[in-house]
Amino acid sequence: MRTGGTDEAITMTMRKVNVAILVLLAVAFLIIVQRNLLNLSDFLHKEHPDAGMILPFESELSPDLGLELVRKGEEIPVLITAAEERLGSVIAAMNSIYQNSKANIVFTIVTLNDTVDHLKVWLSKTKLNNVNYKIVIFKPELLNGKIAKDPQTLEASKPLTFARFYLSAYIPEAEKAIYLDDDVIVQGDIQDLFETPIKPGHAAAFSEDCDSASAKGIVRGAGTQNNYIGFLDFKKEAIKKLGMRANTCSFNPGVIIANLTEWKNQNITQQLEHWMELNTKEDLYSKTLAESITTPPLLIVFYKRHSSIDPMWHVRHLGTTGAGNRYSPQFVKAAKLLHWNGHYKPWGRTSSFSDVWDKWFLPDPTGKFVPVRRHTD
Ligand SMILES: *[C@@H]1O[C@H](CO)[C@@H](O)[C@H](O)[C@H]1NC(C)=O
Ligand SMILES: *[C@@H]1O[C@H](CO)[C@@H](O)[C@H](O)[C@H]1NC(C)=O
Ligand SMILES: *[C@@H]1O[C@H](CO)[C@@H](O)[C@H](O)[C@H]1NC(C)=O
Ligand SMILES: *[C@@H]1O[C@H](CO)[C@@H](O)[C@H](O)[C@H]1NC(C)=O
């Protein structure tokens, strides 16, 4: 009896242990399966080339398997322009933004009517086919009477550079938005840029030209302008009347974070148009203006009324003679956003750090756009 009772007790205990072991095994199995699944999805959505590691960006892995997660959460509106003759730049920029973030990015691409078909083919036949985007057609008539019909100013023939003035009109539903020039590569998570604080009463944040990168002497002496007098003619009455200090640090409008509520409340677009119109009559911009003609009206309208962007989120002058080459590869690698402003574009014949740009470029399926390179191998 006693032994029988003990045996029964032992059997019961054994069963309990067996059940416990089975449960543990099942849990362990589930954990392993889940981990591996997570790892798989991690790998598929691997968004950033880790130090020294080069991922096969040209691989069709992610879109073809159709495993791209639906991106949820707060929308991050990004406005960018697509000019036919440099369409590869917007593709590389978008690819870098998209692959380096898991955020719910919505691109608004402003382009001319004739570019729409080419752009759509390029987006749909590459790994950008999952990207959430809208195309808006820029109407060049918008600029009638606002830019001089002077072919001398090269950019007058580039109407899309003015698209940023109409930010609140292109993204009417958003409160906050990002504008980016097409000659950028984003290496950080765009969510961080989006979270740039905009002070109350400010309609936008820009990166100033006297930021730490310039202060370190990296850019100084490269022949770039960094104060208001480099952009505006302070001898003109209309400028004098504003009482602005000529040596005020200028900013580069290639990266803009905007509070579109303030933008609309302050009539920023109308104010910019006003200065454009006045310039066609009174020639208010500096005679030595080397950079974008979209900058002077922005400098006037946002004088002492803008917030700042983290300097690492707008590392620029990569397209200026010599300047880009002064950056160390370590600095370029650490930069969150690289901007090839200046004449030497990374898809052109000679440019610094074009290898960085190449990593994000996706070849044109129509074959129309091909980066020009000095050495072809
Ligand atoms: C999955 O990821 C975890 C942590 O990231 C790691 O410890 C584990 O080795 C990975 N497993 C596989 C199969 O890659
Ligand atoms: C835009 O292009 C399409 C053909 O691609 C053409 O049918 C249409 O008329 C054009 N629209 C304008 C406003 O030029
Ligand atoms: C934008 O500006 C409005 C009006 O001043 C303000 O209420 C709002 O909080 C601002 N939003 C952001 C994201 O800064
Ligand atoms: C913006 O424009 C509207 C209509 O033209 C005007 O009523 C308003 O006063 C303007 N606001 C500012 C801040 O200039």
Q: How sure is the predictor about 322, in pLDDT bands with cuts at 50, 70 and 90?
A: low
For the segment 212-269, what is each residue's pLDDT rounded down to a tens digit? 554 444 544 445 678 898 899 999 999 999 999 999 999 999 999 999 999 999 999 9
User: Is residue 98 a part of any domain in this protein?
Assistant: yes
The answer on 146 and 9 residing in a single domain is no
- Index of the ligand 4 atom closest to the CA of residue 271: 14
Q: How sure is the predictor about 359, in pLDDT bands with cuts at 50, 70 and 90?
A: very high
80 torsion bin: left (phi>0), alpha (psi -120 to 50), beta (else): beta
* Calpha distance 160→136 (Å, rounded): 11
The answer on 40 and 101 residing in a single domain is no
Q: Smallest Cα–Cα separation from 165: which of 94, 270, 259, 265?
A: 270
The answer on 224 and 96 residing in a single domain is yes
User: Residue 357 in 3-state DSSP?
Assistant: helix
The answer on 258 and 127 residing in a single domain is yes
* Average pLDDT for 345-372: 92
Report the pocket of ligand 4 as residue ranges, CB < 6 Å: 266-267
Q: Which one has a higher pLDDT value, 331 or 219? A: 331
High-pLDDT (> 70) share of the chain, %: 78
For residue 95, the enclosing domain spans 74-358
User: Is residue 371 a part of any domain in this protein?
Assistant: no
Residue 124: what pLDDT?
Answer: 96
The answer on 80 and 40 residing in a single domain is no
The answer on 137 and 20 residing in a single domain is no
For the segment 101-141, what is each residue's pLDDT rounded down to a tens digit? 999 999 999 999 999 999 999 999 999 999 999 999 998 88
The answer on 84 and 199 residing in a single domain is yes
The answer on 162 and 42 residing in a single domain is no
Could you report how far apart the first and last alpha carbons of the chain are, in Å? 91
User: Is residue 285 a part of any domain in this protein?
Assistant: yes
87-99 and 116-124 helices cross at what angle (nearest 10)? 40
Domain count for the chain: 2
User: Is residue 56 a part of any domain in this protein?
Assistant: no
The answer on 255 and 150 residing in a single domain is yes
Examine the pLDDT at 290 and tell me if it is beyond 50.
yes
User: Is residue 59 a part of any domain in this protein?
Assistant: no
For the segment 184-196, what is each residue's pLDDT rounded down to a tens digit? 999 999 999 999 9
The answer on 79 and 43 residing in a single domain is no
User: Is residue 287 a part of any domain in this protein?
Assistant: yes
Indicate which CATH number applies to the domain containing 83. Answer: 3.90.550.10
* Average pLDDT for 49-71: 45
32 ligand 1 Cβ < 6 A: no
- Index of the ligand 1 atom closest to the CA of residue 39: 1
Global confidence as pTM: 0.78
